């Protein structure tokens, strides 16, 4: 006759099943990512910006995971959010921006907002939009696409001013294909940019009008 207790004690399979599995948060990969996220926050607070130059695809993926880890676990400083923009081609620039992310649940726009008109002529531009238009280092793209990009930014800027918001020069470092403005709403600045996609050079004007409506609702 076999004693059940001794079988459990001596059987390696039963003994192993009695030990709880290590939770994901305590696994080496998760612990390393958590440490890297804490280090990133400390650098952002101290230095303002962190630039990753010439990363390969794996490094870019890992940095995005680190940023997402910091966001998911509430590591961002109070009243701040981590933003990332392209830097030097394949590189990334990370910085702390004020306020919650525009896509956060608390910042979702109201439905059925009025459409924001987009002008058809490059006249009476907002000074910030004029400066962007005159800066040949920004919005490097075919002339017609560039003109339509300026018109879209002007329409948004004019509507922002009409609603009492402030339009400022964007302080983010854009890729040459990009350009944009900062819209300050209740003291919180949101960067709005237009860029030419390397895969699809078209800028569909009509659908974007509804996007402006959602943003400004």
pLDDT at 127: 92
pLDDT at 30: 81
pLDDT at 148: 92
pLDDT at 194: 85
pLDDT at 134: 92
Cα distance between the two ends of the chain = 78
pLDDT at 206: 44
Say how far apart CA 14 and CA 4 lie, in whole Å. Answer: 11
Instruction: Give the DSSP H or E segment for 97.
Output: strand 91-98
Say how far apart CA 16 and CA 14 lie, in whole Å. Answer: 5
pLDDT at 4: 43
Q: Using the CB atoms, write b or e for 46-64: b if 16+ within 10 Å.
A: eeeebebeeeeeeeeebbe
Q: Where are the domains of the chain?
A: 25-98, 109-216
Instruction: Give the DSSP H or E segment for 185.
Output: strand 178-185
**Mean pLDDT for each 10-residue chunk of the chain (217 residues)?**
44 47 68 92 92 88 90 87 81 83 56 76 90 88 91 92 88 74 85 73 45 49
Integer-rounded Cα Rg, in Å, for the chain is: 25
pLDDT at 3: 43
Entry field: residues in the chain: 217
Say how far apart CA 29 and CA 57 lie, in whole Å. Answer: 18
pLDDT at 60: 86
pLDDT at 46: 93
pLDDT at 24: 55
């Amino acid at each position: 006759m076999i004693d059940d207790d001794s079988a459990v004690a001596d059987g390696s399979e039963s003994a192993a099943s009695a030990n709880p599995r290590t939770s994901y948060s305590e696994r080496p990969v998760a612990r390393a990512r958590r440490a890297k996220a804490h280090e990133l926050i400390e650098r952002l607070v101290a230095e303002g910006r962190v630039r990753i130059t010439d990363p390969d695809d794996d490094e870019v993926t890992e940095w995005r995971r680190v940023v997402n880890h910091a966001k998911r676990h509430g590591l961002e400083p109070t009243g701040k959010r981590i933003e990332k923009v392209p830097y030097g081609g394949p590189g990334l620039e990370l910085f702390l921006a004020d306020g919650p992310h525009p896509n956060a649940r608390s910042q979702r726009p109201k439905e059925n907002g009025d459409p924001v008109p987009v002008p058809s002529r490059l006249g009476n531009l907002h000074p910030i939009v004029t400066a962007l238009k005159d800066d040949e280092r920004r919005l490097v793209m075919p002339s017609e696409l560039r003109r339509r990009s300026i018109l879209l930014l002007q329409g948004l800027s004019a509507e922002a001013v009409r609603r009492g918001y402030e339009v400022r020069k964007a302080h983010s470092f854009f890729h040459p294909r990009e350009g944009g403005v900062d819209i300050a709403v209740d003291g919180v600045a949101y960067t709005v940019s237009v860029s030419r996609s390397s895969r699809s050079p078209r800028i569909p004007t009509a659908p974007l009008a509804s996007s402006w409506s959602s943003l400004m609702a």
